[in-house]
Structure 1
Amino acid sequence: MSTPDLNLLMTLDVLLSEGSVAGAARRLGLSPSAMSRALQRLRDCTGDPLLVRSGRSLVPTPRAVALREQVGALVQQALQALSPATMPDLGTVSRTFTLLCSDGFVENFGPSLLTRLDSEAPGIHLNFLPKIRRDGSHLRDGSADLETGVVGKGTAQELHARALFRDHFVGVAREGHPLLSGDITLERYAGCGHVADTRHGPGHDPVDVALAALGTRRHIVTSVAGFATALALARHTGLIATVPERHTRYLRTGMATFPLPLALTGITLSMLWHPRLDADPVHKWLRAVVHEVCTQ
């Protein structure tokens, strides 16, 4: 048995609605003869005349009457399925999204994000998790929905990205640190004990690259994999941490922040997502909320 032409559903819906070959032809932009041929194909498919002449008009058969509501619903469902997704009522949406980010991002922007979700979409839950893999595979396999970070050479090419804000590096020490007494020169800064970030690999940290260009190096006492941990160590020791200013705003509370005695290139923090979620209206709304919170 051959598969019927599903385009005939639209034709049947219009024919049953108009009750006229000429009227249906006008609505569909067809000639009366083309519509007559389509009606014959429908009769062949259904094994029923569907519309029969009664005087000068056509009347539906019992089968056509029975099909009218069913066909109309099928056509509407098909049109809806083939149309762009529309934004649902956020008050009725129940979904959970996972955002991969640093502790500093959670502390700086998490409260505002959760407040927005609670007021506009209380059924949407946002989980903050640390980044374990940096190759985009968590976005690709669906274990995460969004990620924040710096777009670089290692970022998967298929991912979509949108910049959130620009940040610059500052030095941070505990209150009363000897470095804070007097001018903070390059020599004094480099001579202090430092806590370094291991994520760039040995010698590739922006601080070390900039110092090497100036013919000097800093005294690294220990290394950690994150700015929050670096600040926690600097807060309770004599170590110096070099961190992004805006990204660590609240993490630096109660500590001394000072301009660096060397020029470092700033960073742009972006959010990343997989293309399969690009047109999802709720995910699109969440991305807009993250962008608004981070740029305020």
Structure 2
Amino acid sequence: MPDLNLLVTLDVLLAEGSVARAAQRLGLSPSAMSRALARLRQTTGDPLLVRAGRSLVPTPRALELREQVGRLVQDAQAVLRPVQSLDMGQVTRTFTLRTSEEFVESFGPALLARLDQQAPGVRLRFVNKTDKDNLLLREGSVDLETGVVDPTASPEVLTQALFRDRLIGVVRSGHALSQGDVSAARFAQGRHVYVSRRGQARGQIDDALEALGLARQITSIVAGFSTAIALARSTDLIAAVPERYTADRRDLFCFPLPLALPTFTVAMLWHPRLDADLAHRWLRSCLREVCAQQVQSALP
């Protein structure tokens, strides 16, 4: 197989027409450049440069190659040179985002508006996130994920925080809990809808209540927070949902949970192979800015 490094050597030799000047330009000794010229002659089957008096002149074959070799070297350098900018208005690409329906409902409209304005050729494909496994990121079938930061997540996956959130209580307007202080005992006495994507029957709220000697009655288990909010809006069920997913509070009463629960961080996750991809970087910056704006606008 030909040594492709010889293309650079040939390009400089043909441009300089001198072994000494080509050697100086490439930082080689004259003897090393002479050996390289010998290899080029053997590889191409042509003398390439022949002596005419005290100088070297190109052969007809060398003249044919000069423009072609120069173009090949320039193209190779462009391929290997880091891309510094990208016109997203000219990009046609589909990104697959794995996230929850609630995240799409809360942040999707603003994100899509940004794409319509800055990158009309970019399409987002949302797929529902049902677990914390990052296999689809590693396989490349998903470009970006969102989710709660997991300290045990694979170090192979990169993360960046988007916003902090907390669980709050949600009931319909007129519910008994909408009147008076909501104590842990009053909270536990009601009937609850519990969100579990994996179908589990209890979680951190139940652990916190148990520590106080209390227990709640879970009468419904659903897979998503949107469903829990819808049920709370239309029934006497009590739901505990992330505060950022309650932008639409029509017919709802929201209250801080009377329990000592930690806040949590929602982040975006991606595989390192996409870290330097300019279009992917742009998408990440858009998502980060949209989340920041939405969170800021929700502040009282």
Q: Which band: TM-score by shorter chain?
A: over 0.9
Amino acid at match of 1:250: A
CA distance in 1 between counterparts of 2:262 and 2:274 reads 32
Match of 2:197, SS state, is helix
1:171 aligned residue: 169
Residue 282 (structure 1) aligned to one of 272, 279, 282 = 279
Residue 80 (structure 1) aligned to one of 75, 78, 88 = 78
Residue 265 (structure 2) aligned to one of 256, 263, 268 = 268
Amino acid at match of 1:189: F
Q: CA deviation at 1:251?
A: 4.2
Q: CA deviation at 1:87?
A: 3.6
1:118 aligned residue: 116
Please show how residues 190-209 of structure 1 align to structure 2 within 5 Å. 190-199=188-197, 202=200, 204-209=202-207
Residue 137 (structure 1) aligned to one of 127, 135, 138 = 135
Shifted more, 145-154 versus 225-234: the winner is 145-154
2:218 aligned residue: 220
The alignment's TM-score, normalised by the length of structure 1, stands at 0.93
Shifted more, 248-257 versus 207-216: the winner is 248-257
1:295 aligned residue: 292
Q: Which runs of 5+ in 2 are unaligned?
A: 294-300
CA distance in 2 between counterparts of 1:119 and 1:7 reads 44
Q: How many residues are paired up?
A: 293
Q: CA deviation at 1:181?
A: 1.5
CA distance in 2 between counterparts of 1:232 and 1:149 reads 22
The alignment's TM-score, normalised by the length of structure 2, stands at 0.92
1:189 aligned residue: 187
Please show how residues 233-248 of structure 1 align to structure 2 within 5 Å. 233-246=231-244, 248=245
Q: CA deviation at 1:108?
A: 1.5
Residue 103 (structure 1) aligned to one of 101, 106, 109 = 101
2:145 and 2:269 in contact (8 A); partners too: yes
1:197 and 1:205 in contact (8 A); partners too: no
Match of 2:62, SS state, is helix
1:9 aligned residue: 7
Q: CA deviation at 1:200?
A: 6.4
Provide, for residues 197-230 of structure 1, a one-character-per-residue CA deviation record: whole Å limited to 9, x for no partner: 1236646512112111222111211111111110
Amino acid at match of 1:274: H
Match of 1:283, SS state, is helix
Match of 1:199, SS state, is coil
2:298 aligned residue: none
Q: Percent identity?
A: 60
CA distance in 2 between counterparts of 1:201 and 1:132 reads 11
Q: CA deviation at 1:154?
A: 6.3
CA distance in 1 between counterparts of 2:254 and 2:43 reads 79
CA distance in 2 between counterparts of 1:198 and 1:103 reads 14
Match of 1:5, SS state, is coil
Query: For the aligned residues, what is the CA RMSD?
Result: 1.8
Match of 1:257, SS state, is strand
Amino acid at match of 1:25: A
Amino acid at match of 2:103: F
CA distance in 2 between counterparts of 1:16 and 1:242 reads 74
Provide, for residues 39-70 of structure 1, a one-character-per-residue CA deviation record: whole Å limited to 9, x for no partner: 12111111111111223322111100111111
2:126 aligned residue: 128
Runs of 4+ in 1 over 6 A off after TM superposition: none
Provide, for residues 105-132 of structure 1, a one-character-per-residue CA deviation record: whole Å limited to 9, x for no partner: 1122111111111111111111222114
Q: Which runs of 5+ in 1 are unaligned?
A: none
